Homo-oligomer: A and B are copies of this chain.
């Protein structure tokens, strides 16, 4: 493949196509669709965190003037035809016989205004029989614990147990012999770490508008990370054919994994079908916190054994992940990632997933990895301290390289960890002298990345404008990335390319944007389709000149006869060729689809300097440096943006964010005043450095970059605070009261 300097468009930083619409407020987000005759839906939510539902009486609500429709679980008979595991997924959309967390939907009401719908919702009478609330994972695992799901039996045991349990599954990843490994160690460090349930904190709440035709054909406008996924989940929950739901993607105001799930959409569709009108639903902020999918809280124990020279010989982890009220924790990914950056001969990672009476978790950016790697990277830091090694040197000594066999399965191809570590060590920020109460923390992040299914179409307008249609929402600048890859492939200027996100009826299937797959996989579909456009353009030039297509060169966005062929012919620009399409065979379009393989893992090295105020327990982040292998940064601004955004979220997770429940399982901080995400004044400028170690499976070398950035910050901040205080921190968030208590408790 070509080196970076060979690219004309890839690696440049043009204005994103959707930038002006978004900055001026013209862009349409989830709540921005309207329709003639629109009515408004609100959700009736459980006031108990664990209870049997004895009765739901909607008669008073329905009798209210201006109320058009009410739905309960009885309106979703399709759920009774699917497996218990899938059915549980739909209990999270609307509860049947019991509720398992506070805020779980029980009914939904549609009325002529939001206020009226809320009034009607308040008239829905629910009779509960309260059950004991289980909030702590270790309590939930106790033999006498109140069981959330009578039909759920622990998976992953040698034999299926004979009684239900709150333990969803047990897992293990093994490499080498863990006991022999520890036996070889000169030094062993073991520690338990706790991370809280946190929310992604996207600014845009969940919102959708559904419009159901008399024949059942349905249009759904919503913002999501994947409108095909929304379509398929909504169809499944409603017993509809996916092809009868058209999902029109709206712009997304943040998702970070949390907008991969349906909450309101099936309710809005059913309310619309019953009302015969379009129905809009928008979650209030407190419902976003109470009843969408946060990240798992975890309790993780890590034990690492090393030789005196720093060679790690054994690594053990016991990971305990809470799923919330229904299975679905990212335990698996947490286990895959924890020791993946290192070439360790003996590894054992044991995992347990547990349900508790909290909202069901959803993906949150590199789901599962920040929690496990906080534990792993903290123990490594302690090991470096114990060995009096530079923490980067310790990691360099053990770093995975090409050929390393990762415990979770693959043997790595070209990867960029060593390059990132070397860049970190050489970085000016790493040379700064630390003052009193200051500490520097280093951590590595790792994400395996995903490929999956993508499609794209390309049309050449009569003016020669290139029109790309694809089905991956633009979450982090993907329109710009697609346009740059198209520009590079066709050697057509970036500003001659338009990118549209097609609805589910109008473009080929694309999996949900997640796993940092879109620039990689949808990008490959775009590149393949553009390559076909070039083939067709050369054929048209050949027709024009009366020569063979293989006698045509394509460069600088123009067709040339090859040297020695028809030397008098003037080059044909794209615009000229486009004007002659009717004469040379009709319009030019192209398409491609694939299940993309080989996404290329991404490594990051983060380090940060903090200063802890011993009077207040408050931590100030003085500097934060994020270094990451992007394979190839198609649009470096948006790679840096991902790195900066991940760092900001990771710092929030490390220092302040946490779900606070009372003993009844009621969330006490369901709003941004009490749930404290970092604001601009909390953060320094996040310094970034992109490393580019080509990923051979992608034409331009892309690796996914969206998830890795959030992984290392938890441990980088934790290690920095630990070093500033001289006390090993193990319980997030490192909020002022907690840090102060630790200082005072010394």
Contact = CB atoms under 8 A, between A and B. Distances in A.
Contacts of A507: 459, 469, 506
A505 B469 contact: yes
A509 B462 contact: yes
Interface string A579-596: 001110111111101111
A42 B605 CA distance: 61
B587 A453 contact: yes
A457 interface: yes
Of listed A32, A243, A504, A507, residue having the most chain B CB within 10 A: A243
Given A462-B232, A500-B505, A507-B506, A20 B213 contact: yes
A386 to B, nearest CB: 47
A21 interface: yes
B588 A241 contact: no
A530 interface: no
Contact of A242 (B244, B455, B463, B591): B463
A508 B242 contact: no
A567 B36 CA distance: 56
A589 B235 CA distance: 21
Contacts of A461: 242-243, 504, 509
Interface residues of A, number: 59
A591 B593 contact: no
B509 A587 contact: yes
A105 interface: no
Contact of A214 (B20, B464, B465): B20
A239 B510 CA distance: 36
A217 B459 CA distance: 18
A26 interface: yes
A496 interface: yes
A506 B243 CA distance: 18
A246 to B, nearest CB: 8
Contacts of A191: none
A558 interface: no
A453 B243 contact: no
A454 interface: yes
A510 B217 CA distance: 26
Interface string A448-488: 00001111010101111111010000000000000000000
B509 A502 contact: no
B582 A593 contact: no
Nearest to A584: B595
Given A508-B587, A582-B595, A586-B594, A498 B457 contact: no
A500 B506 contact: yes
Interface string A410-431: 0000000000000000000000
B465 A455 contact: no
A24 interface: yes
A516 B632 CA distance: 51
A427 to B, nearest CB: 37
Contact of A24 (B213, B452, B467): B213
Nearest to A502: B506
A215 interface: yes
Interface string A121-159: 000000000000000000000000000000000000000
B591 A241 contact: no
A34 interface: yes
A127 to B, nearest CB: 39
A465 B593 contact: no
Interface string A667-710: 00000000000000000000000000000000000000000000
Contact of A595 (B34, B459, B463, B586): B586
Contacts of A596: 586
A215 B20 contact: yes
Contacts of A466: 243
B500 A242 contact: no
Interface string A185-213: 00000000000000000000000000101
A502 B457 CA distance: 13
B587 A589 contact: no
A498 B505 contact: yes
A587 B242 contact: no
Of listed A211, A463, A500, A586, residue having the most chain B CB within 10 A: A586
A242 B505 contact: no
Contacts of A582: 452-453, 595
B469 A586 contact: no
A673 to B, nearest CB: 28
Contact of A463 (B235, B462, B467): B235
B462 A242 contact: yes
Interface in A210-251: 211, 213-215, 217, 228, 232, 235, 241-244, 246
Of listed A455, A463, A581, A583, residue having the most chain B CB within 10 A: A463
Contacts of A509: 459, 461-462, 581, 587, 589
A581 B34 CA distance: 35
Of listed A211, A454, A461, residue having the most chain B CB within 10 A: A461
Contacts of A235: 463
Interface string A358-381: 000000000000000000000000
B586 A454 contact: yes
B241 A455 contact: no
A467 B504 CA distance: 9
Interface string A599-616: 000000000000000000
Nearest to A235: B463
A493 to B, nearest CB: 12
Contacts of A510: 587
A506 B506 contact: yes
A177 to B, nearest CB: 35
A506 B246 CA distance: 15
A232 B461 CA distance: 10
Contacts of A217: 20-21
Contacts of A502: 506
Contact of A465 (B24, B213, B241, B589): B241
A496 B243 contact: yes
A517 B645 CA distance: 53
A743 B482 CA distance: 74
10 contacts: A24-B214, A26-B211, A235-B463, A454-B586, A455-B589, A459-B507, A459-B509, A469-B506, A509-B589, A589-B593
Q: Closest 7 interchain pairs by CB?
A: A243-B465, A509-B587, A508-B589, A586-B595, A586-B594, A587-B593, A242-B463
Given A502-B506, A591-B591, 7 more contacts: A243-B467, A244-B465, A453-B581, A461-B504, A469-B507, A509-B581, A589-B591
